[in-house]
Structure 1
Amino acid sequence: MLSEAEQLEILQKYDPESNTRNVTGIFKKIVFFGLLAFSIFQLYTSIGTPFTAYIQRSIHLGFALALIFILFPARKKIGVKRNKVPFYDVILSLLSIGVGLYWPLLIDELVMRVGRVSPLDMFVGVVAILLTLEAARRAVGLPITIISVSFLTYAFFGPYFPGFLAHRGQDLKSVVQLMFYTTDGILGTPISVSATFIFVFLLFGAFLVKTGVGAYFNDLAVVLAGRLVGGPAKVAIFSSALQGTISGSSVANVVGSGSYTIPMMKKLGYRKEFAGGVEAAASTGGQIMPPIMGAAAFLMVEFIGGVTYWQIAKAAAIPALLYFTGVWIMTHFEAKRVGLQGMSEDQIPNRKETLKKIYLLLPIIGIIVFLLIGIPTMKAALLGIVLTIVVSAFDKSTRLGLKDMIEALVDGARTALAVAAATACAGIIVGVVVKTGLGLSLATGLISAAGGNIFLTLFFTMLAAIVLGMGSPTTANYVITSTIAAPAIITLLMLDTPDAAVPLVVAISAHLFVFYFGIIADITPPVALAAFAAAGISGGDPIKTGVTSAKLAIAAFIIPYMFVFNPAMLMIGASIPEIVWVVATAIIGMIAIGAGMIGYWYRKCNWIERIIAVGTGLLLIYPETITDIVGLVLFTIMVVIQWLSRNKDEDNNKVAVAS
C-alpha cells in the first residue's frame, strides 16, 4: 500500500484540487480558522434561510476566493515543499474578501439602483470576474479558465462571428452588470447549488471519513469479494462504488482506494495496465452511483426544474448498476482467461470484526431513507451528519470527539473550495449563454448538423461532452453541455414523443446523458486523469491504462443511449415488470459484451465469436422486444457452444499466463 506522502504526490500531479501550499505559522492559523468559519457559515444558512440569495452567494464566493489565493500557488511545482505566501496573493485574498462583502454591506443601495452601475460597482465587478477566473485556474485547472474567457470573448465580439453564431454584442458595462449584479452570472444557479446542496454533502462526506468509513469500505469489500475469482479486482470495484459516496473526485477516489487495491491486483497476477484500468473505471463510476452522486447531479435538480434530487438518484440507479456490473463481468472474464484465483485466507480481514462495524453504513442508508420519505435534500444531508456523529459513538475506534468534528468541518470546507471556484466560473458561461441566446443558436445548429436525426445529435453531444471533460471538471462540463446540447436532445425527443405526460422523463434522460459522458471523460484517452493517476500507482503505461479503463467501462458508452430511447431504465413512468425485463436483458447483454471485449467466456473466444458476442449484447441492451428475443436466442446458442467446447483447449490459461 502507498504511503500518505506517495498518495499526496500522485494527487498533486493529477488532481489540481490537491496541489496546495503547505502553509505554516500565521497563515496556517488563518487558513484553519477561515475554513472553520466557512463551514459554520454554511451550516448556519443551511439550518435556516437568514440571508437573501445575493448575500449568501457572495459571502460563499468571498470565502472560497480568499482561501484559494492563500492555499493554491500561482504556479504548480510538483513535489516541491511550498509554505510561503507571496505578498501578491495576500493582496488578492484581501480583494476577494472585499468582493465577498460588497453585496452584504451595500445591498440596499445596490437594490435601489438596479440596472444602473456606478464607477465603484464597475471596479468591483471587474475585479470579481478576474479573481474568479484566476481562482478557477489555480484550483481547478487552466482549461476551464480558457473556456470561460472564450465565452466572454464571444459576448463582446458577437457581431464578428459567422452565421447563426452572430449576435449584436455586449459592452463592458452590460457584461459586468450581468456577471456580478444579477443571478444569471457568477452569482447564478451553479454557485447557488455549491452554497447549498453541494457544500452540505461534502461536509457529510468529511464526517464519514473521520469515522474511518473509507478504510472500512476496503475491509468490507475484501470480506465480501476477496475470495472470489480475481478477488482484488472485484474488491476494487466494490470498494470504489462505496467510496464514490464520500468522494466527488475520480482522481481522489483512485488514489484513496487504488493505493490499496492496485498493489493487491498486481500481486495476484494482473497486468499493470489492467490493474490500473480496473481501479480507474470503478473509481470514475463512483460519481454516477446513488445515493450521493457527483456535484453536477445537484445542479441537475435546478437546471431541469420541477424535479427532486431523489428522482435524479432513483433514475440513475439502474444505469449505475449496469455500469458496475459491466466492469465486474469483464474483470471476472479476464481473471478466468489468465487463470487467476482469489485472495488467500490470511489476506482477508477478520470477518466477525468487520461485520460488527456494519453500523458505519447507517448514515448512507439513512440518507436514502430521508430522501425517500420526502425530506428536502439539504435537510437530509444535515440529518446524515447528525446520524454519522451518533453512529460513530457505538465504538471507541470510530467515536467522533470535538476535535474530530472540527477537523471534519475544516476538511469539508477545504474540499468545497475547488467546487465553488468551478461553479462560479461556470456561472460566467451560463450568463453568456443566457444573454446572447447562444444556447438556442447552438441547439438549432446541432440539430441542423445532425439533419434532425436524434442518434447523430446524441453522438455529437457525446463527443462534445468527452472533449470538454478532458479539460474541465464534471461540474463545468455539465453546465456547458446542459445549456447547449441538452435542449437539442429534448427538442428532438419531444417531436418523437409529443405526449404531454413525458416532458420530465425526456428532460431527465437528456441531462443524465450529458452528465454521464462528462464523467467518462476522466477515463477516455488521450487525457484520462483518473487512468493516469491509476498508472502512477501501478507503474503501467498511462495511455494503455486509459485504453483499458475505457474498454472496461464500455457500458458507460452504451447505457446512456439506451435510457434515452427506453426511459423504463430510469424507473420513471414504467411498471415493475417492464423495469425487471429491462434490467434482466441488459445484464445478460453486458455478460455477452464483456465476453466479447475480453475474448473469454467458458473458454477462449476466436474473433468471430467475439464479434457475435458483442453484437448479441447490443441487441439485448437495445430497448426493443424483437431485438431482445433475437439476442436471447443468440446468447443461448453462444452459451451452449462455449459450455460444450470448454475443454477443447485446456492449455489456454497456461498459454495466457506464459504470455
Structure 2
Amino acid sequence: MSSIDKNTPDNGLELAKRMAEEEEGIGRRPEGLSKYVIPTVAVCWSLFQLAIARWLVLDTTFTRSIHLGFALLIVYLSYPMFRKKIPGLGFLSATNRIPVTDYAIAAIAAFSALYIAIDYDGLTVRYGAPILRDLIIGAALVILLMEAARRVIGPALPAIAAVFIIYAFFGPYMPDLIAFKGVTINRFMGQMTMSTEGIYGIPLDVSATIVFLFVLFGAMLDKAGAGHYFIQLALSLLGGFKGGPAKAAVMGSGLTGIVSGSSIANIVTTGTFTIPLMKKVGYPATKAAAVEVAASTDGQLAPPIMGAAAFIIAEYVNVPYVEVIKAAAVPAFASYAALFYITHIEASKLGLEGIPRSELPHFGRTLLSGIHYILPLVFLLYELIVVRHSPELAAFNAIWVMGIIMLLQEPVRAYMNKDPMGPAFRRGVENLFAALAAGGRNMVAVALATAAAGIIVGVVALGLGQLITDIIDTLSQGNIFLMLGITAVASLVIGMGLPTTATYIVMASLTAPAIVEIGGYNDFIVPLMSAHLFCFYFGILADDTPPVGLAAYAAAAIAKSPPIPTGLQGFMYDIRTAILPFMFIFNSDLILHNVTSWSQGLLIFAMACTGNFAFASATQGWFVARNKIYEIPLFLGVTFILMRPDAVAPLIGLPHEQRYWAYPVGLALFGILYLMQRPRIPKPEDVRAAA
C-alpha cells in the first residue's frame, strides 16, 4: 500500500468519524495520565448539571458562569491552537498531550468566566462604573471566548462578533444610514461581562439549564447503542419497499435526530449502514449521500427535542416549550413525509427495487431487541406533553430512567448468554461514565455558540435593535417578500460557517423583530413564533448549503462521492423544506396558531403533506412519470392552494372562515395531473434499461 493510500481512509468512514469527533469535542487524544483529565472534567460538568436540575439551588448567574467555565476549560484542554503543525511551534498543535501553556490558558479562561460569580456582590454594586480589574478580566473573557469559539466552531462566529464589537465603538463614524451613537468601554464591558444582557444572556441560560440535559440524554442513548438500533429497526420496517434503504435512511435519521443535535454525528451513525445499502440497490453515490444529508440535517426539525435552538425559541417568544413543539409539528412532519416521497420518486426514476426481505432483519425480533431504548423516549414525551413538566425536569427524569437501563442492560445480556456477571456490571458502569463524559464534550460547541452569539445579542441590545429594523426596512423597501428573501439568503450565508444554534440566535436577534414589524407596515400580522421558526429553518438548511456544508462532506466521504455535487443534490432535496417557512409566515394555520381542534390540525397536516408532495414533484421533475414543462406550474399551483387556502378562498368567493373549502380545488388539480401522467407511466424494466 502506498503512502497516499495509508493517509486516505479506506471507505471515507474514518474521515467522517474524525469530523464528528471534532464536533463532539475530541480534538486531542492525550497519552499517559493526562488522557484522564478531559473526561474527568466532562464527567464533573455532567454531574454539576444534574445537581442543579434537581437539588442544588444556585442563582441563575452563577449557573451560567459555571456552565461557561466548564466549557472553556474543556476547549482549551481539548483543542490545540492550530490544526497544522508550525515548524518550531509544535506545542501549539500538539494532539497527543496537553501543553502547559494550554493548562494555563484554560485556567485563566475558566476564571474569567467564573469572575461574575466570584465577585457577584461587588460587580452588582459597581455595574456601570467598573474598576480596572473588572475591565481587564472582562476583556480577557471576551478575547478567550472568541478564541475558544474559533478553535471549536471555526472563524465565522468570532469574525461576526468582532464586526459587531467594532461597530459598537465606531458607530458614530459610520455612514448616515448605519450610524450609531456608539458606546464607552465601561458600558460595553458592563453589558457583556457584568450583566445577563450579553455573554451571560438568555441563550447561555437555556444552554445551562435545559439543553445540557437533553444533550446528555442523547449521549446516553447513543452510548447504550440506540443509534444502531434505530437504523436496524428502520431497515427491518422499510428496507423491502421500492428504494427501501433510502426510506430507512430517512426514518433512521429522523429517529436518531431526536437524540442527536448534530447532523454530522447523525450521518456517521446512520449513513454508515444506509449509504452502502442505497448504493447496493442502485442509487448513484451522489444521490445516496444526498438523501442521508437531507435526512440527517432535518433531524433537528423533528419534535420533541429539535436541537438547542428550539428551547431558545421558547424563551425568546415567552411560551411553554410544548407550544414550540406544537408549532413545529406540522412543518417538520410534512417535511419528512415529502423526503420519503422524494426517495420514492428517485427510486421510480431509476427503476429500483428494495432489499430482499430474506436479507433484512426481522421486524418483530428487532423491535423487541431494543424496546428498552424506546421506553425512555416514551417516558420523556409523557413528561413533556401529558404531565407538562418543565423541559429540564422531564429530561432529568428521563436521564435517570436511561441510567438504570444502561446499568442493567449489560448484566441482563450476560445472564441471557450465561456469561460472567461481574464484567458485565463493570461494562455497564463504564458505559455510564463514558456517556457522562460524552455529554460534556458534546455540549462544548453549543455552550460556546450561545455565549459567543451573546456578544452579538448584547451589542444589538445596546441600542441597535431599532436601527437594524430601519436598515432592513430600507433595504427591503418595506416589502415583506423581499425582507423574507434577504433573511433567508443571509441565514444560508451566515449558517455556512456557524452551528445551527448560533445562526438562529444571530438571525433571530437581527431579523425576527423586523419581520414582525415590517409585516405590520404591510397590514399583515406575523406571529412572533412564525418569525423565529423562519430563522430556525433556514439556519438548519445552511448545514448542507455548498460550498461549505460540512454535513455534505461527511456523507460524501462515506459514499465516495464528490462533496460539492453531493451538497447541491442535498440542497435540491431540501428545497421542499425551504418552501415551508415562506408558507407559515403567511398562513399561521401551518404552525397551528390558534388551532385547538385535533380534526382541524390533522386536516391542515394532511393538506400540508400533499402540497409538499406536489412541490417535490415540481422540483424533482417527476410525479408518476417524467414531467412536461407545462405541468410544473400546475404542480406549483397545487402547492399554493393546499398551503395557502387563506389566499385562494377570496379568489373563489369564499370568506376566510370557509377557507378550507379551497382544499378540494387543489386536490382535484392534483388528481387531474395524475390522470395526465398516467398514460406515460414507464415500465420498471424500461426505466432500468434507460438508467
Q: TM-score range by the shorter chain?
A: over 0.9
The Cα shift of 1:622 comes to: 2.7
The Cα shift of 1:284 comes to: 0.4
From 630, 645, 649, the equivalent of 1:623 is 645
Q: Distance between the aligned counterparts of 2:40 and 2:11, measured in 1?
A: 25
1:513 aligns with 2:534: yes
Greater shift, 30-39 or 346-355, is seen at 346-355
Q: Distance between the aligned counterparts of 1:587 and 1:109, measured in 2?
A: 57
Letter in structure 2 aligned against 1:646:
I
1:153 aligns with 2:169: no
Residue 584 of structure 2 is matched in structure 1 by: 563
From 24, 27, 47, the equivalent of 2:31 is 24
From 309, 324, 328, the equivalent of 1:312 is 324
Greater shift, 535-544 or 132-141, is seen at 535-544
Aligned partner of residue 157 in structure 1, secondary structure: helix
Residue 643 of structure 1 is matched in structure 2 by: 678
C-alpha distance after superposition, 1:553-595 (max 9, x if no partner):
1221111111111111112312444323322222222222233
C-alpha distance after superposition, 1:594-630 (max 9, x if no partner):
3333333333333333443344334333333546444
Q: Distance between the aligned counterparts of 2:175 and 2:581, measured in 1?
A: 33
Residue 60 of structure 2 is matched in structure 1 by: 53
Aligned partner of residue 73 in structure 1, secondary structure: coil
Alpha-carbon contact 2:15-2:557 (below 8 Å) kept: no
Q: Distance between the aligned counterparts of 1:619 and 1:652, measured in 2?
A: 35
1:97 aligns with 2:110: yes
Alpha-carbon contact 2:199-2:454 (below 8 Å) kept: yes
Q: Distance between the aligned counterparts of 2:413 and 2:197, measured in 1?
A: 47
Alpha-carbon contact 1:58-1:99 (below 8 Å) kept: no
1:358 aligns with 2:371: yes
1:418 aligns with 2:445: yes
Aligned partner of residue 119 in structure 2, secondary structure: helix
Equivalent runs, 1:411-560 vs 2, <5 Å: 411-435=438-462, 437-494=463-520, 506-560=527-581
Aligned partner of residue 245 in structure 1, secondary structure: helix
1:656 aligns with 2:690: yes
* Compared CA separation, residues 228 and 593, structure 1 to 2 (3 A): same
Q: Distance between the aligned counterparts of 2:263 and 2:180, measured in 1?
A: 38
Equivalent runs, 1:55-134 vs 2, <5 Å: 55-77=62-84, 82-134=95-147
C-alpha distance after superposition, 1:295-320 (max 9, x if no partner):
11111111112x01111012111111
Aligned partner of residue 485 in structure 1, secondary structure: helix
The Cα shift of 1:411 comes to: 0.7
1:349 aligns with 2:355: no
Q: Distance between the aligned counterparts of 1:583 and 1:59, measured in 2?
A: 43
From 183, 208, 215, the equivalent of 2:228 is 215
The Cα shift of 1:240 comes to: 0.4
The Cα shift of 1:173 comes to: 2.7
Residue 185 of structure 1 is matched in structure 2 by: 198
Equivalent pairs counted in the alignment come to 647
Q: Distance between the aligned counterparts of 2:690 and 2:342, measured in 1?
A: 16
The Cα shift of 1:397 comes to: 4.3
Greater shift, 474-483 or 508-517, is seen at 474-483
1:266 aligns with 2:279: yes
C-alpha distance after superposition, 1:120-169 (max 9, x if no partner):
11111111111100000001111111011111111111111122421121
The Cα shift of 1:243 comes to: 0.7
C-alpha RMSD of matched pairs (Å): 2.4
Q: Distance between the aligned counterparts of 2:229 and 2:84, measured in 1?
A: 34
Q: Distance between the aligned counterparts of 1:527 and 1:646, measured in 2?
A: 38
Q: Distance between the aligned counterparts of 2:381 and 2:469, measured in 1?
A: 36
The Cα shift of 1:267 comes to: 1.2
Letter in structure 2 aligned against 1:653:
V
Residue 606 of structure 2 is matched in structure 1 by: 584
The Cα shift of 1:178 comes to: 1.7
Residue 405 of structure 1 is matched in structure 2 by: 432
* Compared CA separation, residues 5 and 38, structure 1 to 2 (3 A): farther
Q: Distance between the aligned counterparts of 1:342 and 1:425, measured in 2?
A: 47
C-alpha distance after superposition, 1:308-367 (max 9, x if no partner):
111101211111111111111111011011111111224311323212133421211222
Residue 253 of structure 2 is matched in structure 1 by: 240
Calculate the TM-score normalised by the size of structure 1: 0.93
Calculate the TM-score normalised by the size of structure 2: 0.89
Q: Distance between the aligned counterparts of 1:526 and 1:105, measured in 2?
A: 44
Q: Distance between the aligned counterparts of 2:235 and 2:685, measured in 1?
A: 30
Residue 602 of structure 1 is matched in structure 2 by: 624
The Cα shift of 1:184 comes to: 1.0
* Compared CA separation, residues 68 and 453, structure 1 to 2 (3 A): same
Q: Distance between the aligned counterparts of 1:217 and 1:131, measured in 2?
A: 40
* Compared CA separation, residues 8 and 144, structure 1 to 2 (3 A): farther
* Compared CA separation, residues 447 and 100, structure 1 to 2 (3 A): closer
Residue 633 of structure 1 is matched in structure 2 by: 668
Aligned partner of residue 89 in structure 1, secondary structure: helix
Q: Distance between the aligned counterparts of 2:669 and 2:528, measured in 1?
A: 34
Q: Distance between the aligned counterparts of 1:651 and 1:609, measured in 2?
A: 25
The Cα shift of 1:217 comes to: 0.4
1:375 aligns with 2:389: yes
Letter in structure 1 aligned against 2:401:
L
Residue 385 of structure 1 is matched in structure 2 by: 399
Report percent identity of matched pairs: 37
Aligned partner of residue 259 in structure 2, secondary structure: coil
Q: Distance between the aligned counterparts of 2:625 and 2:181, measured in 1?
A: 65
* Compared CA separation, residues 340 and 128, structure 1 to 2 (3 A): same
* Compared CA separation, residues 226 and 3, structure 1 to 2 (3 A): farther
The Cα shift of 1:49 comes to: 5.2
The Cα shift of 1:633 comes to: 2.7
Alpha-carbon contact 1:233-1:265 (below 8 Å) kept: yes
From 336, 343, 351, the equivalent of 1:331 is 343
* Compared CA separation, residues 630 and 5, structure 1 to 2 (3 A): closer
Q: Distance between the aligned counterparts of 2:49 and 2:685, measured in 1?
A: 62
Q: Distance between the aligned counterparts of 2:666 and 2:135, measured in 1?
A: 64
Greater shift, 16-25 or 220-229, is seen at 16-25
* Compared CA separation, residues 156 and 607, structure 1 to 2 (3 A): same
Letter in structure 1 aligned against 2:18:
Q
From 282, 307, 316, the equivalent of 1:303 is 316
* Compared CA separation, residues 631 and 540, structure 1 to 2 (3 A): same
The Cα shift of 1:416 comes to: 0.7
The Cα shift of 1:211 comes to: 2.1
Letter in structure 2 aligned against 1:83:
N
Q: Distance between the aligned counterparts of 1:245 and 1:15, measured in 2?
A: 19
Letter in structure 1 aligned against 2:292:
E
1:169 aligns with 2:182: yes
Q: Distance between the aligned counterparts of 2:679 and 2:103, measured in 1?
A: 73
Q: Distance between the aligned counterparts of 1:514 and 1:397, measured in 2?
A: 46
Greater shift, 626-635 or 413-422, is seen at 626-635
